[in-house]
Amino acid sequence: MLFTEFRFVGFFATIFLVHWLLPWNRARKLWLLAASYAFYGAWNWRFLSLIVASTIIDYLVGRGLERTSETSRRRALLVVSLLGNLGILGFFKYYNFFAVSAAEFTSWLGLGLPLQALEIVLPLGISFYTFQTLSYSIDVYRGRLVPTKSLPDFALFVAFFPQLVAGPIVRAIDFLPQLANPGRLSDIGLRVPLVRFLLGYIKKACIADHIAAAIDPVFADPAAFDGMTLWLASLLYSLQIYCDFSGYSDMAIATAALLGYHLPENFGFPYLATTVQEYWRRWHITLTTWFRDYLYIPMGGNRLGPARLAINLCTVFLLCGLWHGAAWTFVVWGIYHGLFLTIERFARADRLPRALGHVYVLLVVSCGFVIFRSTSLPAAGIFLSGLLPGASTGTLTIWPGWWGMVAGFGFAHAALSRWPLDSPVARAPGWIFAAAYGVAVAVVLPWAANEYEPFIYFQF
C-alpha cells in the first residue's frame, strides 16, 4: 500500500479514528502494531515473518545484554544481532549480486566458480528496518539505551507503518520513550501535519511521477537524445528522486504526527547546499547520521590522519551506495561521493562563492544521480559522455517546458526554506484553514499521475 493510493485514505482514516477513540495507551499501541503488520502484509504477508524474526532476535539480544555485564558475552550477543540482521539483509538483497560478480570474476580468472543467481524477491523496506533494529542492539550494547521490557513496544518500534518501508530511519532512543508517554489528540496540532502530508503528496504524485514518465525514455536510450536533453534529464532526475523520497518522508512524518508520534527530519533542502559535505548533512539525514554514528566514527572518523580519513570516507560511502542497491552503479555512486567528500576536506570547497557553490553541488549531485539511475555502468558512461559539449550525436528531445519546472522547483525550494509554512498555517483562523485546505486538495488531485508509481526508495 502506498501513501498516494486511494485505499490509504480509507486505511488511515480507520487507523486514526480507532487509535484516538481507544482510551488506553496499551490498546492504542497494540492497534497500531496490528495496523502496521496489516499495512506491510497488504504488500506481501509472507515477508512479515522476516520482520517478526528480526524483532524477536533484537528484543532477545537487548534483554540478554541487560542481564549480563561480561564483555565477552555482551560481544557475542551483539554478534548474534549483527549476523542475524545482516545475514537476512545480505541474503535477500546481496546474494545474487555477489554470486554473479564472483562467478564472472572467477570465470575471467579461468577458475569458474559454479555460483548461480537465485530467484529472490527483495522484501520491501528491509534495509530500513534492519538498520533500525541494528541501531537498537548497538545502542544497548554501548550502554546508551536501556532495553525495553515490552515486546509489543519493541515490535511497534520496528514495524511502525508510517516509516516502515522507506524511512525515516528511527532510533529506538528517540522512539521508545514516546511509546511510554502518549500524547492526547487535543494537544496535537493537526494543521501542520495535514499541510505537510499534502505537500508530500504534491511532490510525489504531481511532480516526481510526471517527471518519471518524461525522462524514463532518456535513461533507457541516452544515445538517442541530444546533449541539452541529457542535461535536462539529469537535472530532472535529481528533482524526481528528491520529490519522490522527501515527499514520502513528508507523508510519513505527517502520518506519524497525526497519530501523536514524532519522527526525525530526513531532508533539509539539500539543493541549497554549497558543498557536497553540506549536501550530505541535508540529504537522507537519518541514513547519513546512522552511518556516521555506527560506522564512520567507530572507524576513527577524521581523527587518524588524512590517509585514514580518505579511506574512511570512501569506505563509508561505498557501503552507503551498496545500501541503496546491489549493483555496481550504486557502488561507483557511493565511491564517487566519498571521493568528492575527501577532496573537499583538502581543497576547502566552502571557500567558493555561494552561487558557484550551488552550481558545483548541483553538477556533482546530478552527474552522480546519472550513475545511480543508469541500468549499468556502460549506460552511465554513454549518458555522462553525452553531457560533454558536442559529444552527443542523438537528436531526440523532450518537452523543453521541463526547464520551467526545474526553475520553478528551484524557486519553491529556496522560498520554502526561507519562509516555512508552519507558522502562517498555525496562525490562520480555523475556518480559513479548513476552506483553503479543501480547495487545495481539490486542485491537487487532478494533477496526480495517472498510474501509481512505486516510491523509488521502496527498492532499497
Partner 1 sequence: MSPVSAACGVRRTARRRLALAGLGIVVFLAAAALLRSVQGPLKAATIRAQVEAFLAEKDDVDAVFIGSSRVQRGVSPRVVDEKLSTPEREFRSFNLGIAGMRSFEADWLVRRILDAEPARLRFVVIEAPDWKPEHVPQHDFTERYVDWHDARATWLVLRAIWKFNGPWYTKLELSWRNLRFFAMRSVNYATKDRLMARADPAWDRLVAGRGRLRGYQPLDEDTPRVGRRRRRFLENLDWFEKSVADIRAFAEKGQLAIPGAFQTYDLASIEEQVERVREAGATPVYFAAPGLARGPDFSALQRDGVIEHLIDLRDPSEHPDLFAPENRFDREHMNEEGARLMSERIAAELAPIVAGVAAESTSSSRGSTSEDRD
- Count of CB atoms situated within 10 Å of the CB of 409: 20
| Interaction pattern, residues 127-146, with partner 1; x per rule: CB under 8 A | --------------------
Give the one residue of 384, 448, 458, 459 binding partner 1; rule: CB under 8 A. Answer: 448
Catalytic residue positions? 324
| Interaction pattern, residues 6-45, with partner 1; x per rule: CB under 8 A | xx--------------------------------------
Give the one residue of 69, 71, 72, 186 binding partner 1; rule: CB under 8 A. Answer: 186
Backbone angles phi, psi at 389, to 5 degrees: -60, 130
Quick one: which segment of 30-38, 89-97, 178-186, 221-229 binds partner 1 (CB under 8 A)? 178-186
Stated as kind and residue range, the H or E segment containing 237 is helix 227-258
- Min separation Cβ 125 and partner 1, Å: 24
Task: Report d(CA 243, CA 205) in Å as an integer.
Answer: 9
Query: Rounded to whole angstroms, what are the CA distances from 50 to 21, 123, 135, 243?
Result: 31, 8, 17, 30
Give the one residue of 300, 404, 438, 454 binding partner 1; rule: CB under 8 A. Answer: 438
- Min separation Cβ 410 and partner 1, Å: 22
Question: How is residue 107 written as a grid cell?
Answer: 570465470
Task: Report d(CA 271, CA 282) in Å as an integer.
Answer: 8
- Min separation Cβ 444 and partner 1, Å: 10
- Residue number with CB closer to partner 1 (19 or 284): 19
- Min separation Cβ 158 and partner 1, Å: 30
The one-letter amino acid code at 204 reads K
Quick one: which segment of 39-47, 80-88, 341-349, 443-451 binds partner 1 (CB under 8 A)? 443-451
- Min separation Cβ 393 and partner 1, Å: 31
Give the one residue of 117, 220, 359, 435 binding partner 1; rule: CB under 8 A. Answer: 435
Quick one: which segment of 34-42, 123-131, 143-151, 446-454 binds partner 1 (CB under 8 A)? 446-454
Task: Report d(CA 173, CA 70) in Å as an integer.
Answer: 23
Task: Report d(CA 226, CA 280) in Å as an integer.
Answer: 31
Query: Rounded to whole angstroms, what are the CA distances from 75 to 5, 78, 203?
Result: 44, 5, 44
Cα angle 95, 87, 60 (rounded to 5 degrees) comes to 160
**Residues in Cβ contact with 411 at an 8 Å cutoff, skipping those fewer than 6 apart:** none
Quick one: which segment of 135-143, 262-270, 285-293, 430-438 binds partner 1 (CB under 8 A)? 430-438
